[in-house]
Amino acid sequence: MPEFHHFLNQLPKAELHLHLEGSLEPELMFKLAQRNQITLPFDSIEAIRAAYEFSNLQDFLDIYYQGANVLQTEQDFYDLTWAYLERCYQQNVRHVEPFFDPQTHTDRGIPFGTVINGIHQALQDAKTKFGISSYLIMCFLRHLPETAALTTLEQALPYKDKIIAVGLDSSEKGFPPELFERVFAKARAEGWLTVAHAGEEGPADYIKQAIELLKVKRIDHGVRCVEDPQLVEHLIQTQMPLTVCPLSNLKLCVFKDMREHNILELLERGVKVTINSDDPAYFGGYMTENFIAVADALSMTKTQAIQLAQNSFEASFLPTAAKATWKQQLQALA
Ligand code: HPA
Ligand code: ZN
């Protein structure tokens, strides 16, 4: 591995935009399909990988929801989460705030508790075995009605302490944040923080709605903010974090070429951008691969890499004291 790539791998990092269902590697998908006697529409692991050619978000989502069908038992959700955390350990990702999509599972008859208990146990074990800290974020599927999100919120209440925030994901265009104002208000009233996907495929106005109506603490993706210069100024002034996912943006054709990606331009302008992997099993890489893809295409400097890592902790939901400790450790690498 070239020296700078090794540096990027060793850099302590936090991951803030990761869908656990999107970390389901074809090998584990096959194994779980066998274990649960589910027939996959693919003959081999190679055939699964070959199907991962997407021209937009919806193309991907169709395959992503299909893949999630193999997840049935608490052990399956544990194994899924644990496999992701092993990758984090290998890449020196020291803190994670993953998403899960309960509706993808409860709509198939899997109890909410089965999903969250499996995930939670793996997160606990990663703290003990790898020293990786974590908070869990529950996402609502925006292609479904707000009433369904409200039902999900009710199902989550017995597990309130295992969740730090709610988010909003799935098909963006035509499903603006304003449709979810009530359920997000209810989530905040229950003490949860809020985040939302916005400005991935949808317009800059969806970012504004997420901030103003859903009172989010971070914007997931947000790369289309550049279409509204006033909004960019606002993001800088308020230091609103953007959890950017470079390889995802490339695979879903948000940018045609990594050399056209705006992440380092936003970083230099003072926007609190972070690097994340989104759905690594589908988009070709975890945290280090995302850092490397940006570094190689856009000539990232060591100072920029350290700033991106520092942003990842600052944009996290960790307590102020923990953030200060990570900042000190990262500044020592400069
Ligand atoms: N965007 C929206 N929904 C998603 C994504 C994404 O990148 N990944 C998984 N669900
Ligand atoms: Zn996402």
Pairing of strands 99-100, 273-275: unpaired
52 CA to middle of ligand 1, Å?
15
Per-residue pLDDT tens digits for 237-265: 999 999 999 999 999 999 999 999 999 99
Name 134's bridge partners: 96
| CA end-to-end span of the chain | 21
Neighbours of 154 (CB within 10 A): 11
Query: Is any atom of ligand 1 closer than 6 Å to the C-beta of 21?
Result: no
Residue with tokens 């390889």: 247
Instruction: Using pLDDT thresholds of 50, 70 and 90, give the confidence band for residue 210.
Output: very high
The 3-state secondary structure of 17-41 reads: CEEHHHHCCHHHHHHHHHHCCCCCC
Mutate to test the pocket of ligand 1, among 17, 18, 19, 21 (most ligand atoms within 8 A of CB): 19
Nearest residue to 81 via CA among 134, 158, 156: 134
Question: What is the model's pTM?
Answer: 0.98
Determine the Cα–Cα distance for residues 195 and 181; give it in Å rounded to an integer: 12
Residue nearest to atom 2 of ligand 1 (CA): 170
Contact 263, 246 (CB under 8 A): yes
Per-residue pLDDT tens digits for 275-317: 999 999 999 999 999 999 999 999 999 999 999 999 999 999 9
Contact 201, 173 (CB under 8 A): yes
319 CA to middle of ligand 2, Å?
24
Nearest residue to 207 via CA among 184, 171, 217, 197: 197
**How confident is the model at residue 1, as a pLDDT?**
81
Query: Is any atom of ligand 1 closer than 6 Å to the C-beta of 197?
Result: yes
Query: Is any atom of ligand 1 closer than 6 Å to the C-beta of 201?
Result: no
Active site residue 200: yes
Give the ligand 1 atom nearest the CA of 252.
7
Q: Is the pLDDT of residue 127 over 90?
A: yes
196 CA to middle of ligand 2, Å?
9
Query: Is any atom of ligand 1 closer than 6 Å to the C-beta of 200?
Result: yes
User: Residues with Cβ within 5 Å of ion ligand 2?
Assistant: 278
Mutate to test the pocket of ligand 1, among 169, 201, 244, 252 (most ligand atoms within 8 A of CB): 169
Contact 141, 104 (CB under 8 A): yes
297 CA to middle of ligand 2, Å?
22
Mutate to test the pocket of ligand 1, among 16, 65, 279 (most ligand atoms within 8 A of CB): 279
SS3 332: coil
CB-based contacts of 139: which residues, under 8 Å, 6+ apart? Answer: 19, 99, 100, 101, 166, 167, 168, 169, 170
Overall size of the chain counted in residues: 334
Per-residue pLDDT tens digits for 21-51: 999 999 999 999 999 999 999 999 999 999 9
Among the bound ligands, the one closest to the CA of 23: 1
Query: Is any atom of ligand 1 closer than 6 Å to the C-beta of 248?
Result: yes
199 CA to middle of ligand 2, Å?
11
- Active-site hit among 74, 97, 200, 201: 200
Nearest residue to 223 via CA among 172, 282, 295: 172
Determine the Cα–Cα distance for residues 235 and 48; give it in Å rounded to an integer: 39
Among the bound ligands, the one closest to the CA of 61: 1
Per-residue pLDDT tens digits for 138-197: 999 999 999 999 999 999 999 999 999 999 999 999 999 999 999 999 999 999 999 999
Percent of the chain scored above 90 by pLDDT? 100
Contact 85, 127 (CB under 8 A): no
Per-residue pLDDT tens digits for 71-117: 999 999 999 999 999 999 999 999 999 999 999 999 999 999 999 99
Hey, what's the torsion of the CAs at 104, 107, 109, 111, to 10 degrees? 60
Mean pLDDT of 209-232: 99
**Phi and psi based region of residue 124 (left: phi greater than 0; alpha: psi -120 to 50; beta: remaining):** alpha
Nearest residue to 138 via CA among 183, 203, 178: 183
Show the tokens assigned to 89: 């350990």
